[in-house]
C-alpha cells in the first residue's frame, strides 16, 4: 500500500508528530510518498529508515496511490484537492490547524486513522466540486473548487452590480461587495460567515450568498446543482476579483463567466464513528449553553 502525504509546511515543533505518523505508516506496511517541498523541510530531522518516494505534481500520482493524507488545516486540504483532481484518490485530512471542518482527524487520533486505512475500515464521502467556465483561460488546469466560487469588488472600488442568471433565466441583480456560490461542503465556510445556511453534503445544491448587500431584503438562496449559474458584472472599475477556494484572479468585467457542477467529485475519508452532525456539534459548539 502507498499513501501520498501533502502539507504546505511544518515547523520544528511538529517534527515529532511527523515521525510518529511515519512510524504508524511503516508498522502497517505502508510506503509513504511525500510531496517534495514538504519532504525538503523535515527529512534531516526525522527517522526515515523505510522505503519511501516523493512527488511534485498531479502527474506523479498514479494508480498505485491508495489515498492521500493532508497535514494541516482546511486550507491545506483545499490545496490537496488541486493535486488529486480527477484521479479518484481518497483524501484524509489530519488537522494541524485550528477549526478543521474538513481536516477533522486530530493528532491524537492518527494511529487509529492509519489502522483504519490499512484495514480499509472507513467511509468515503463524495463531495461535489464547483467548476468555472469563462471565455478566457482562468485558474489554469484546475478551474474548480471544493468550497466556493466568489466574485468580489476590488479593494478600492465601490460596490458592484452582479446580474445573475439560472440556465439563462434572470434571477436577480445583486448590489453588493460580492457574491458567493458555495457547494454543500463550502456552506460551512465563507458563505456561513456571510449569513448563508448550513447545507448537508449530499443535498445536491448550491448556495448563492451575497456579501454585504445594499438591499436588506436580499437573502441567500439554495438552488439545485443542475443549474448553470452565469453572471454579468457592472463596476465603476474595469475589473473585479474571482476566487476559487483560496485562489484568486483579477478578471475584466468584459469576461463572460458561469459556474456549474464539476463532472467529477472528491472523496474524503471519514472514520465510521464520525458524521456531519457530530462535526457540526463539535465545531460550531451546538448544544452548549453557558446558562446550564
Q: From the CB of residue 136, how many other CB atoms can be counted at a distance below 10 Å?
A: 11
Buried b (16+ CB within 10 A) or exposed e, 91-106: bbbbbbbeebbbbbbe
Strand 160-166, strand 247-252: pairing = unpaired
How many helices (H) and strands (E) in the chain?
6, 19
Report yes or no on 90 lying in a domain: yes
Number of domains in the chain: 2
d(CA 91, CA 102): 10
CA-CA-CA-CA dihedral for 278, 279, 282, 286, to nearest 10: -70
User: Quick one: which of 82, 104, 84, 81 has its CA closest to 93?
Assistant: 104
Report yes or no on 7 lying in a domain: yes
**pLDDT tens digit string along 47-91?**
788 899 999 999 999 889 999 999 988 899 999 999 999 999 999
Are 94 and 22 within 8 A, CB to CB?
Answer: no
Residues 63 and 151 in one domain: no
Residues 270 and 160 in one domain: no
Report yes or no on 290 lying in a domain: no
Contacts of 177 (CB under 8 A, 6+ apart): 152, 153, 159, 160, 211, 212
CATH code: domain of residue 106: 3.40.50.10330
Contacts of 144 (CB under 8 A, 6+ apart): 129, 130, 131, 132, 244, 262
Residues 279 and 250 in one domain: no
CATH code: domain of residue 163: 2.60.200.30
- Terminus-to-terminus CA distance in the chain, angstroms? 49
Residues 41 and 70 in one domain: yes
Q: From the CB of residue 264, how many other CB atoms can be counted at a distance below 10 Å?
A: 16
Parent domain of 255:
130-261
User: Within 13 Å of residue 228, how many CA atoms lie on the same side as its CB?
Assistant: 11
Specify which of 23-27, 259-263, 283-287 reaches the highest per-range mean pLDDT. Answer: 259-263
Q: Quick one: average pLDDT of 18-22? A: 88
Strand ranges of the sheet holding 160-166, from the earlier edge strand across to the other edge: 144-145, 130-134, 257-261, 229-234, 160-166, 169-176
Report yes or no on 288 lying in a domain: no
**3-class DSSP state for residue 240?**
strand
Residues 206 and 250 in one domain: yes
Catalytic residues: 74
Residues 95 and 182 in one domain: no
Tell me the residue length of the chain: 292
Residues 50 and 152 in one domain: no
Say what the pLDDT of residue 156 is.
76
Residues 143 and 227 in one domain: yes
Model confidence band, residue 291 (pLDDT cutoffs 50, 70, 90)? low
Residues 201 and 155 in one domain: yes
**pLDDT tens digit string along 226-276?**
999 999 999 888 899 999 999 999 999 999 999 999 999 999 998 876 688
140-144, 264-268, 279-283: least confident range:
279-283
**pLDDT tens digit string along 145-196?**
999 999 999 887 789 999 999 999 999 999 999 999 999 999 999 999 999 9
Amino acid at each position: 500500500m502507498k499513501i501520498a502525504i501533502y502539507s504546505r509546511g511544518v515547523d520544528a515543533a511538529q517534527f515529532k508528530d511527523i515521525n510518529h505518523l511515519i512510524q504508524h505508516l511503516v508498522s502497517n506496511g505502508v510506503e509513504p510518498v511525500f510531496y517534495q517541498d514538504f519532504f525538503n523541510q523535515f527529512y534531516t530531522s526525522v527517522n526515515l529508515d523505510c522505503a519511501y518516494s516523493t512527488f511534485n505534481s498531479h502527474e506523479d500520482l498514479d494508480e498505485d496511490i491508495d489515498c492521500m493524507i493532508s497535514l494541516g488545516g482546511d486550507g491545506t486540504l483545499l490545496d490537496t484537492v488541486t493535486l488529486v483532481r480527477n484521479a479518484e484518490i481518497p483524501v484524509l485530512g489530519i488537522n494541524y490547524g485550528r477549526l478543521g471542518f474538513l481536516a477533522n482527524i486530530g493528532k491524537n487520533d492518527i494511529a487509529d486513522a492509519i489502522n483504519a486505512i490499512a484495514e480499509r475500515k472507513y467511509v468515503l464521502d463524495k463531495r461535489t466540486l464547483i467548476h468555472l467556465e469563462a471565455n478566457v483561460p482562468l485558474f489554469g488546469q484546475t478551474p474548480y473548487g471544493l468550497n466556493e466560487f466568489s466574485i468580489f469588488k476590488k479593494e478600492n472600488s465601490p460596490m458592484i452590480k452582479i446580474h445573475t442568471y439560472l440556465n439563462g433565466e434572470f434571477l436577480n441583480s445583486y448590489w453588493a461587495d460580492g457574491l458567493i456560490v458555495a457547494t454543500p461542503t463550502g456552506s460551512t465556510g465563507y458563505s456561513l460567515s456571510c449569513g448563508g445556511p448550513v447545507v448537508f453534503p449530499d443535498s445536491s445544491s448550491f448556495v448563492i450568498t451575497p456579501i454585504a448587500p445594499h438591499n436588506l431584503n436580499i437573502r441567500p438562496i439554495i438552488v439545485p446543482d443542475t443549474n448553470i449559474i452565469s453572471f454579468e458584472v457592472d463596476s465603476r472599475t474595469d475589473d473585479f476579483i474571482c476566487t476559487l477556494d483560496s485562489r484568486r484572479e483579477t478578471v475584466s468585467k468584459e469576461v463572460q463567466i458561469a459556474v456549474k457542477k464539476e463532472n467529477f467529485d472528491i472523496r474524503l475519508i471519514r472514520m465510521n464513528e464520525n458524521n456531519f452532525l457530530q462535526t457540526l456539534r463539535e465545531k460550531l459548539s451546538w448544544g452548549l449553553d453557558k446558562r446550564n
